[in-house]
Amino acid sequence: MNTLNSIPTLSIGVDIGGTNAVFGIVNEDGRILQEASIRTQEYPTADTFVEASVACIRPLIANVGGIERIKGMGIGAPNGNFYTGCIELAPNLPWKGIVPLAEMFHLALGIPTYITNDANAAAMGEMVYGTARGMKNFIMITLGTGVGSGIVIDGKLVYGSDGFAGELGHFVINRTATARRCGCGRCGCLETYCSATGVVRTARELLQASDTPSLLRDIDPDKLESKDVSIAANQGDAIALQIFQRTGEILGEALSDFTTFSSPEAYILFGGLMHAGDLILRPIQEAYDRNVMPVFRGKTKILVSSLMNTNAAILGAAALTASE
């Protein structure tokens, strides 16, 4: 007999990274009730990884009242393909080739299991628990070591014909001879300019190009991090502000172009860079407004994720259980 208590309302979110795999149990309000992790690299095969994961998750499930309370599991992982449920050729994970991870967890736990990449999971997290609640059309941009994106149209994530749609970090925004080399093997991708590492590259370029005094000159250029730029910018450092200005301009221009594609209600920006607040948001917004096609002017909001101080990766993965 169904009672109110027996309706499953909790979700398991799994964030698989090159170093750690983190497991969380999330309630409908986006609160993480239970959390634990294992070291990804300790498991050379997917079988041993799933076995260890399940051993790690079972006590968490018991703590919240048993598997009957869990409606499903979502996994965010590099090269996770929603369509196939597989991790496909992920360069930074120990398991090579095509790994049917969703099916493996489904067999082990008996609950519906979904997988996608981290940025798509982040977009789902925003839609279910964060800034994009109630939105049907938005684009999530994650500004981390790289630039990721998750595109939501009519309330659904865009996976495209092969499951890998939404790679806006690899939109080429510079085709000149001086375009920066990207990890994807090409040159001029957005992420070579607007990621944390892109910000550091811009910092090194601007420091070399002038003699303007800067707090950043006190740091070994090889050890410079994007958060050093944030700290300096917050102190009014001219070079740091110029780095944010340039980074924001490039991102704002790119977003104005992306609008011609799906005319989203909002862009949701996520990542350490966004802690700089208006110092980075203002140049983004100004470049966007200056460059967007007239028919779209004033329509699309540029917002910062409300999940930046939470374990957003777990929330995003858990939100996948809301997929149709």
Options 18, 58, 260, 278; binder of its own copies; rule CB under 8 A = 260
Which spans in the chain are helix H?
Answer: 46-63, 101-109, 118-129, 191-194, 196-209, 226-234, 238-262, 278-291, 312-319
| Sequence-ordered list of residues with C-beta below 8 angstroms from that of 285, at least 6 positions apart, any chain | 252, 302
What x-and-dash track marks residues 131-150 binding its own copies by CB under 8 A? -----xx-------------
Q: Does 160 bind its own copies (CB under 8 A)?
A: yes
Q: Does 299 bind its own copies (CB under 8 A)?
A: yes
Q: Does 261 bind its own copies (CB under 8 A)?
A: yes
Q: Does 52 bind its own copies (CB under 8 A)?
A: no
Q: Does 264 bind its own copies (CB under 8 A)?
A: yes
Q: Which range in 10-18, 90-98, 287-295, 311-319 contacts its own copies by CB under 8 A?
A: 287-295
The span from the CA of 179 to the CA of 160, in Å, is: 28
- Of 4, 56, 13, which Cα lies nearest the Cα of 33? 13
Tokens of 254: 């790119």
Tokens of 12: 């398991």
The span from the CA of 189 to the CA of 133, in Å, is: 30
Q: Does 300 bind its own copies (CB under 8 A)?
A: yes
Options 3, 185, 211, 222; binder of its own copies; rule CB under 8 A = 185
Tokens of 220: 């070994």
CB 323 within 8 A of CB 114: yes
The span from the CA of 92 to the CA of 14, in Å, is: 17
Q: Does 172 bind its own copies (CB under 8 A)?
A: yes
| Sequence-ordered list of residues with C-beta below 8 angstroms from that of 127, at least 6 positions apart, any chain | 133, 135, 138, 152, 155, 319, 322
Options 179, 184, 219, 224; binder of its own copies; rule CB under 8 A = 184
Q: Does 92 bind its own copies (CB under 8 A)?
A: no
Options 43, 244, 258, 288; binder of its own copies; rule CB under 8 A = 258
3-class SS at 88?
Answer: strand
Options 170, 230, 232, 311; binder of its own copies; rule CB under 8 A = 170
Supply the minimum distance, in Å, between the C-beta of residue 67 and its own copies: 32
CB 270 within 8 A of CB 307: yes
Options 167, 233, 248, 252; binder of its own copies; rule CB under 8 A = 167
Q: Does 237 bind its own copies (CB under 8 A)?
A: no
Q: Does 283 bind its own copies (CB under 8 A)?
A: no
Supply the minimum distance, in Å, between the C-beta of residue 154 and its own copies: 7
Supply the minimum distance, in Å, between the C-beta of residue 148 and its own copies: 11
3-class SS at 204?
Answer: helix
Q: Which range in 40-48, 101-109, 153-161, 221-229 contacts its own copies by CB under 8 A?
A: 153-161
Q: Does 238 bind its own copies (CB under 8 A)?
A: no
- Helices 46-63 & 101-109, crossing angle to 10 degrees? 40
Tokens of 151: 């595109």
Give the interface with its own copies as residue ranges (CB under 8 A): 136-137, 151, 153-154, 156, 158-168, 170-172, 175, 184-186, 253, 256-258, 260-265, 291, 293-296, 299-300
